Chain A
Amino acid sequence: MSRATIRFLLFLRFTSAILLVSALSPAQTSPSPSAHNELVIRNAVVMTATHGSIKNGSVYVKDGKIAAVGENLKAPSSATVIDAGGKFLTPGIIDSHSHIALDDDVNEATSPITPQMMMIDAFDYQDKAIYRGLAGGVTTSLLLHGSANMIGGQAIVIKHKYGLNRDAMLFPGAPRSIKFASGENPKRVYGSKDQLPSTRMGNFAVQREALVQAQDYMREWDDYDAKVKRSDKDAKPPKHDLKLEALADVLRGKLLVQIHCYRADELLTEMAMAKEFGYKVRAFHHALEAYKVADQLAANGVGIATFADWWGFKHEAWDAIPWNAVISMRKGVRVAIKSDSEDFARRLNQEAAKTIRYGGATEEEALKMITLNAAWIIGVDDRVGSIDVGKDADLVLWDGYPLSSSGVPNRVWIDGDVYFDRSLPGYGMPHYQEGQ
């Protein structure tokens, strides 16, 4: 099968998935500004993130998707032509670890096991942090529960369509993720209240106990389902328990497990625990000591979402080194650079560029850390994260070279629509007006 055919088939798969999801989702009814735009961006240096840079490249966008990429594309005359003037064009930046737009409702720090928390219930879609990230080129973010609890809540994936309504900002069809945490934060939060856990032993005991309960719960439901199947009259449904239901979904592999974890020993323990209970860890977040156990992470297919050079803010960040990302990547770990802050979310391009300096990442490797690899961690790499045919037209046109101190987004498209334009007065957003 040719590459193009595969792409075409993939394209079909995405679109059918999207149609299915959007038919169910209220996003369908929200105003989607001009989603069926047809445009061609010409005369750009297209940094694809998967197959190098195309000088004097063009990208043809139709129905919110990337329809063609290459040199000297022939786009239909119906398409609006945008001359990029030789500027760089990258995929939209993806932030695989964010707590913005939650109005400080990041941690339900009243119990170390709270998998039933749904971040959607706190999603403050008017938070200006979404706009400020957008102005920094971020088009997709994973909004996670905090790290106060060993098992936190369930995340949401948003697109930074600032100015639209809540549901129109959700990434349609994105897989569910759950946040786990380990180390100092749960220890401190509960230890300071003289509660369990106050040590790493306590942390993992609490986590293990919750997973054991989930196993029992899952077994009860499986027994019930089996009884129903064979029309057993004695079949009595067990009591619904939101908390255990969520954990059972972890065991069933229905949730991507995102674990906040710093120290090398804890990275190993978390992987052993996953093996013990039969679930997969999707990615370790922060993972500042990943470079010490990168071989094991690679062997388990676990990604990391890490900081470029942030360190020393607490004891478990004391061995953080700016070479972490590249050492881990060279050993086969899928590496993303993430924000974990409103501030970094506005300049992830600069953070990724640090990996060129610290360890010698190539331009494309650095770019992948804030696009395709981040998309993989979130589970949306088949939809976004690179400039490839069939993917969502989430694009950033840059003033200056994006992987540098002075790269600044000039325009940002999401699903083929401009959501940020630096040249506009005021906030620079076509779909948002103050007082909206």
Chain B
Amino acid sequence: MKIQLLPAVLACCLISVIAVAQQGPVVLKGGKLLTVSHGTIENGLLIIENGKIAAIGSGMAVKLPGNARVIDVTGMTVYPGLIDSETNLGLTEISAEQMSNDLLEPSDEIMPHMHVYDAFHAESELIPVTRINGITNAIVAPRNGDTLPGQDSFVQLDGKSALEMLLVRDIAMPLNFTGAQRHNESWDKRRFPQTRMGMAAQLRQAFLDAEDYRQKLIDYEKKKSEPAKADEKKDDKKDEKKSEPTPPKRDLKLEALLPYLDGKKSIVLAAEGPSDLETAVSLAHEFNLKFVLNHISHSQPVLDYVAALKVPVIVGPIYEDPKDYERYDAVYSLPAQLYKRGVKIAFATYDAHNARNLPYQAGFAVAFGLPPDEALKAITLNAAEIWGVADKLGSLDVGKTANVVVANGDPLDVKTDVKHVFIEGREIPLASRQTQLRDQYSGQ
């Protein structure tokens, strides 16, 4: 098996080499453009130049560049590259093979100094599989086994190397409070924190420690600036040396918490049921943390409370089983219920191998009341806005990065086949290890 893998890995590298640069302008002609930001344009034209969307409009209104490659996409749908708001892409290859996994550090629950960019495997076979279904960008997060498992990165699913693909490092930090972070398995394996009380106490202590650490840094900076004043007074040079302050010992864990404590970045606050949600939110409020909510899969009874928080919600996976006391569609209908209350939502697969199925989660929410255009928005523009990249991504607008998908139907339907994927204007070959196996054996 391992020997078989090698040629495929090489082939995959070749694929990414082929897709390096955009050759001249590309015109997508005749398609139905789902702009997400300004409605649908029938029989539209979209021009891609220098990796960006250079023009967009109806067939009549746009002038074609002379050297352009024109692709007739009549009868097709054209839409922005999809964004998965939480994945483990690049952190796993074969789930059951531990050596191929870099998902979680289970030794401690407070691990904010884990950075997924240190593990992100750009050559993962999962990435071509995902992007040829129209997913061009994703949040990569550690698995949710720790309360603070590390920091997320925002990636683009094509590029020469991890350096290029990691668009925003440490974009946000998950804080998981779903109960799954307790160590309450069998009695002999139990350890702290075994309960939600333990989880909360540990989190509080971590943020208090970070506050102290921040104070020490502030004090140090303050002291450092004092000798300068003393210098102006032209004091004794010997005394000056004596009073030079020592910086606090660098603590990577606490340092990693500071941007969140300072409200410069967002926490991704995960809870499922109402009680965990309210505990997690009160914790965030205690330390003035800026946050977006994650999952809240079983919180139907408190959606007005959620709406009043006025924060976006990363919703899903929509396939999460309801609790026994819930109706069969309690999780399916959650996105629509949130939308009705004015909450901005984005979908996530929380997966790696199955991240390609992101659009179907949105499509399933449509069956339970979410308007189709809102469902598409939740995997494009809403996600881009939540992650602060809407100036470049999330809609078909002039000046945005040309992450563009062409498919033969409704982007949210399982039957729809993706026909072209552009990432930064580069046309991505619709090839993966799986298409290679298909081609190898289908002619058998």
- Chain A residues near B (Cβ < 8 Å): 128-129, 131-132, 135-136, 184, 291-292, 294-295, 309-315, 317-323, 327, 331, 342-343, 346-347, 350, 353-354, 356-357, 399-400, 403-408, 426-428
Chain B 424-444, CB-CB to A under 8 Å as 1, else 0, gives 000000000011011001101
Shortest distance between the CB of B378 and any CB in chain A (Å): 14
Flag if A314 contacts B328 (CB, 8 Å). no
Contact B414 A357, beta carbon cutoff 8 Å: yes
Q: CB of B416 within 8 A of chain A?
A: yes
Complex Cα spacing A314 to B101, Å: 12
State the majority secondary structure of interface residues on B: loop
Shortest distance in angstroms between A115's beta carbon and chain B's nearest beta carbon?
Answer: 26
Which of chain A's residues have a CB closer than 8 A to the CB of B233? none
A292 touches B321 (CB 8 A): no
- Chain B residue at minimal CB-CB distance from A133: B328
Chain B residue nearest to A313 in the complex (CB):
B95
Closest to A136 in B: B328
Known: A314-B94, A404-B363, A405-B412. 14 other contacts (CB 8 A): A128-B324, A291-B442, A292-B441, A295-B444, A313-B95, A313-B353, A314-B95, A318-B94, A321-B435, A323-B438, A347-B319, A357-B415, A400-B367, A405-B413
Closest chain A residue to B126 by CB distance? Answer: A312
Whole-angstrom distance between the Cβ of B87 and the nearest chain A Cβ:
13
B329 interface hit (Cβ, 8 Å)? yes
Residues of B within 8 A of A310 (CB): 353-354
A354 touches B438 (CB 8 A): no
Whether A309 lies near B94 (C-beta < 8 A) is no
Q: Which of A131, A295, A350, A399 contacts B328 (CB 8 A)?
A: A131
B414–A427 touching, CB < 8 Å: no
- Which residues of A have CB within 8 Å of B327? 426-428
Q: Number of B interface residues at 8 Å Cβ cutoff, please give it.
A: 39
Q: How far is the CA of A224 from the CA of B78 in the complex (A)?
A: 74
A350 CB to nearest chain B CB (Å): 5
Of the A-B pairs whose beta carbons lie under 8 Å apart in the complex, a sample of 22, sorted by A's number, is: A135-B329, A136-B328, A291-B438, A309-B356, A311-B353, A312-B94, A312-B95, A314-B97, A315-B94, A315-B97, A320-B434, A322-B434, A323-B434, A327-B441, A331-B444, A343-B319, A350-B360, A354-B415, A356-B414, A357-B415, A427-B327, A427-B328
Least Cβ distance of B285 to chain A in Å?
Answer: 34
* A343, B364: Cα distance in complex, Å: 13
A312, A318, A343, A403: residue with the most chain B Cβ atoms closer than 10 Å: A312
- Give Cα distance in the complex from A423 to B145, angstroms: 38
Q: Which B residues are CB-close (under 8 A) to A428?
A: 327-328
Cβ–Cβ < 8 Å partners of A313 in chain B? 94-96, 353
CB distance from B363 to the nearest CB of A (A): 3
- Of chain B, the residue at the smallest CB distance from A427 is B327
Contact B321 A342 (CB under 8 A): yes
| Interchain CA distance A243-B359 in the complex, whole Å | 48
Q: Which residues of B contact A343 (CB under 8 A)?
A: 319, 321
Rounded to whole angstroms, the CA-CA distance of A428 and B327 in the bound complex is 8
- 8 smallest beta-carbon distances between A and B, as pairs: A405-B363, A314-B96, A406-B367, A135-B328, A312-B353, A321-B434, A353-B414, A313-B95
Q: Is B322 an interface residue (CB 8 A)?
A: yes
Closest to B317 in A: A343
Contact B328 A321 (CB under 8 A): no
Shortest A68–chain B CB gap in Å is 31
Please tell me if the beta carbons of A357 and B95 are within 8 angstroms of each other in the complex: no
